[in-house]
Amino acid sequence: MSLHRYHEIDVFTATPLKGNPLAVVHEADGLDDATLQAFARWTNFSETTFLLPPTEPQADYRVRIFTPDRELPFAGHPTLGSCHAWLAAGGRPKSADAVVQQCGVGLVRVRRDGTRLAFAAPKLLRGGAVDAATLASIARSLRIPADAIRAAQWVDNGPGWVAVLLGSRDELLALKPDFAALEPADIGVVAPCPPGHDAQFEVRAFIRGVGPTEDPVTGSLNASLGQWLIGAGLAPERYVAAQGTALGRAGRVHVERVDGQVWVGGDCVEVVAGQVAL
């Protein structure tokens, strides 16, 4: 058993306890896969990350991302939270304008804009239209009429997302999914906010498997939603998404497209710092 530096970071908020928590274990080389998975199951956070030396020369660090029941090739709030923790622990990036993270999908750039971090949305592993049978399954899982879905798209950048657009924020916040029947993938739901709201869209993320059934604030989903919504002309080139309202959180995700690249940004705040014995 060895001691490792440890952080818990609240992501997509500047106010502690209002975002999405992330557990980060530093210098995790030497820990086997069973230990990594067991610790992620023990924290029971939506994701727990483990920082390792990079194997790619361009990367500043490598990260492995675990949910309570599986490893993910990429996830958004773990990218921002891991970068924040790596910098807080004294990490020095090779480049002055960006930190380069190595993870399962490859290299992901993270830029610093003052205290806020933003990651470059990775390319989709699966995109395109959703067939009628899958839409009907999603509607049953969400317990809504099929015609309440205004649009839908596969937006999988690692976790397996499929996304649907509803007509209003009230409809979205009223959702009470049948989690036992949730299929065929993790489902992201987005809807426009009314005029005068500080965000342009509200988002919810429903998760299959072990652990939390609704994610408080989801970087990977907001990344692929931005690619879809901006690309389809359903959102402006820059907007703010709110997420976590239904869970008593107040996450804010800053999405913008610059020169064809979608960036997903948010604030991070350290809540716990110490050591963990693994």
**CA angle, 81 then 86 then 90, to 5°:** 145
In-domain check, residue 124: no
Q: Do residues 233 and 269 both lie within one domain?
A: no
Q: Do residues 106 and 215 both lie within one domain?
A: no
Structural tokens at position 127: 């995109």
From first to last of its 278 residues, what are the pLDDT tens digits of the chain?
899 999 999 999 999 999 999 999 999 999 999 999 999 999 999 999 999 999 999 999 999 999 999 999 999 999 999 999 999 999 999 988 899 999 999 999 999 988 899 999 999 999 999 999 999 999 999 999 999 999 999 999 988 899 999 999 999 999 999 988 877 679 999 999 999 999 999 999 998 876 679 999 999 999 999 999 999 999 999 999 999 999 999 999 999 999 999 999 999 999 999 999 99
Nearest to 68 by CA among 208, 177, 163: 208
Structural tokens at position 28: 């995790």
The model carries a pTM of 0.93
In-domain check, residue 126: no
Q: How far apart are CA 122 and CA 246, in angstroms?
A: 28
Q: Do residues 257 and 145 both lie within one domain?
A: yes
Domain around 245: 132-263
In-domain check, residue 239: yes
Q: Do residues 195 and 240 both lie within one domain?
A: yes
Q: Do residues 161 and 215 both lie within one domain?
A: yes
Return the C-alpha torsion angle 159, 145, 252, 186, nearest 10: -10
Q: Do residues 107 and 155 both lie within one domain?
A: no
In-domain check, residue 10: yes
Query: At 257, which CATH number?
Result: 3.10.310.10
Q: Do residues 37 and 143 both lie within one domain?
A: no
Q: Note every long-range contact of 184-187, with CB atoms under 8 Å and residues 24 or more positions apart, other chains counting.
A: 184/134, 184/137, 184/138, 185/156, 185/160, 185/161, 186/159, 186/160, 186/161, 186/162, 187/138, 187/141, 187/142, 187/161, 187/162, 187/163
Number of domains in the chain: 2
